[in-house]
Structures are given as structure tokens and as C-alpha cells.
Amino acid sequence: MRFAVLRFPGSNCDQDCLRTLRDSFGEKAESVWHKDTSLRGFDTIIVPGGFSYGDYLRCGAIARYSPVMRAVAEEAARGTPVLGICNGFQILCEAGLLPGALVRNRGLHFICRQVHLLLENDTSLFTRAGHTGQVLRIPVAHGEGCYFADEATLRRLEDGNRVAFRYCDAHGEVTAENNPNGSLRNIAGILNESGNVLGMMPHPERACEERLGSTDGRIVFESLLGSALAATR
Amino acid sequence: MKIRVTVLPKPSVLDPQGVAVAGAMKHLGWDQPGRVRVGKVIEIEAPGGRPSEEKLHAICRDLLSNPVIEDYTVDFVE
């Protein structure tokens, strides 16, 4: 499988993604500069975390106008899986490929720690290696990760089974105490309407090896790899 | 001439910065601030004159603000 990992000025988790895909999974992963205009030939596109354009104006607000984002929109429309992690999630929201927005954490602190996530939809391209109700331990690292959307959008997401992950406790209980950033309905990750774009604040690429404290992030990549295998059959 | 765009969080969006600033006002001896919202002001020099109304609002709506979470107002300063 051939992965594109986008790189904007200020991206930093692109290296984590490339390393995880190459070393933990043995897959082909290429860095794609934000000025590139084509993403043809890639099986999956990853919009990685970091601080694109220094988070100037709003997180992701300037990156969404980078030339490569037009290609991301084209590929997303074609059905290619697009995974936005952290700043990548913010960029996809700014670009209108996912609904809602990510605002300053309720507690104002930058949060960098392991959190628990409840997997809510095991039918998506990104989660099918797991099972609904499964609790994952995956780290977050963000200052602006509070998911916000209006009531109608939240209802559409929930009715369409498009909430992929929610913040929860170790037993899978979705509680206010286990919401690290104030996200509405504890939302940590959402899918687009066609199910081929996922945005999530936690970093699955940082949870793929035992020595990093958790391998639960593998589910996201194994799901993508399994989906690709299924498609070629 | 200059164009001054003011961007503020929508009333429906929790603004933790505003809450923190309101709290700090109490330390200065004013204990009755109402809701405080923190946003940003963007000043644009326009030596060649202002863009069309349509263009200006596209810039405000699609770049300078995010309509999901923010409102904006435009002022012209001579």
C-alpha cells in the first residue's frame, strides 16, 4: 500500500507517521510537500499533526489554501481514504472536508498524555480492525482540540454513525471527567458522510509499538491495510 | 485607507480565554464583569482602494474567520 504523508511548513508529526508506516508496518510511505498539486497513485492520504503555518490566524486556516489541499479534496471525492490527525483534523475541518471546528481546550492548557477512547463504529475503513465498544489507549497532544459543531451537525453525525471515537474512562464510560478538552459530546474523531475521511485529535501513529506505551493505534492502520486488501480481491 | 476586520467567537461557543480574562478583572477590583469574549483584529492596508463588497466578505468569511465558530464585522478607517 502506498501512503502519502503531507508536509506543510510547521508540520512535525509527519516524521512520526512516516516512521510508523515504514518501520512498524513495512509499508511504502512518501512525504508530499504542500506545494505539490497531485496525489494520484496513492492509496491513502495522511494529513499529519503539527503546527502548520505556526497556527497563525486559526489552526489549519492557512494550510487549507495550500495547493496540495485541492488534490486532497479531489481524492476525497474519488473515495480515497484521507486520515487527518490532530492538526490534520483541524485542517480538514477548515477545508470543509469534515464538519465542525476545533477550538481552544476548555482548560486552556496544552494537553500531552494518554487518553482512553471508545471506538463507536467498527464498520469504517479506519476502524474495522477493531470492534464497537472497544476501549483504546492513544495519546493526545494539543492546545486546540475542543470539538465544536452546532446542534444540527452533532445530530447528523450521531444519527449517521459518524462519531468514530469518544473520550472515555478505562472502562468505556463516556463521562465529563474523562473529556480532556471540553469537546462537545466527548467527540475525539469523526467521519465524513461517505466514510472515507476521518479526522481525530489523538495520535494513533504514536501508539503502534510496545515501547511507546500502547499498540492500540495499530487498529487504525490495520483497518486501512485490511480495507486495501479487501479492495484488491 | 485601512480595512479593520474584527473577529469574535460566536456567543454559542465557549470562550475559555474570555472566562479567564473576566476572572482576572476581579483581581483588579471589578467583580461584576459580564461575559467577556476574546477575539482578534486584523488591519489591512488598502492603498489601491477597497476590494468589491463581495470579495471582501469572501475574504472575511473564508479566511479571516471561521463561520462555524466566529462572527466578524468590518470597519473602514481613513
Burial of B78 (0-12, 13-18, 19+ CB in 10 A): exposed
- Residue A233's pLDDT band, with cuts at 50, 70 and 90, is very low
Rounded Cα distance, A98 and A135, in Å? 24
Q: Where are the domains of chain A?
A: 2-232
CATH number of A2-232: 3.40.50.880
> Who's near A72: CB < 8 A, 6+ residues apart?
A6, A39, A45, A47, A82, A95, A97
Interval A51-108: pLDDT, tens: 999 999 999 999 999 999 999 999 999 999 999 999 999 999 999 999 999 999 999 9
The verdict on A148 touching B (C-beta cutoff 8 Å) is yes
The verdict on A111 touching B (C-beta cutoff 8 Å) is no
A205 carries an active-site annotation: yes
Report the relative pairing of strands B40-45 and B2-9 from DSSP bridges: antiparallel
Interval B48-74: pLDDT, tens: 989 999 999 999 999 999 999 999 999
Domains of chain B: 2-77 (3.30.1280.10)
pTM: 0.94
Interval A15-44: pLDDT, tens: 999 999 999 999 999 999 999 999 999 999
Interval A111-141: pLDDT, tens: 999 999 999 999 999 999 999 999 999 999 9
Report A:191-230 residues touching B (Cβ under 8 A): none
Interval A140-154: pLDDT, tens: 999 999 999 999 999
Residue B31, Cα to own-chain centre: how many angstroms?
Answer: 25
Task: State ipTM.
Answer: 0.89
Rounded Cα distance, A79 and A40, in Å? 12
Q: Which among A86, A93, A168, A208 is annotated as catalytic?
A: A86
For A184-195, b/e burial (b = at least 16 CB within 10 A) is bebbbbbbbeeb
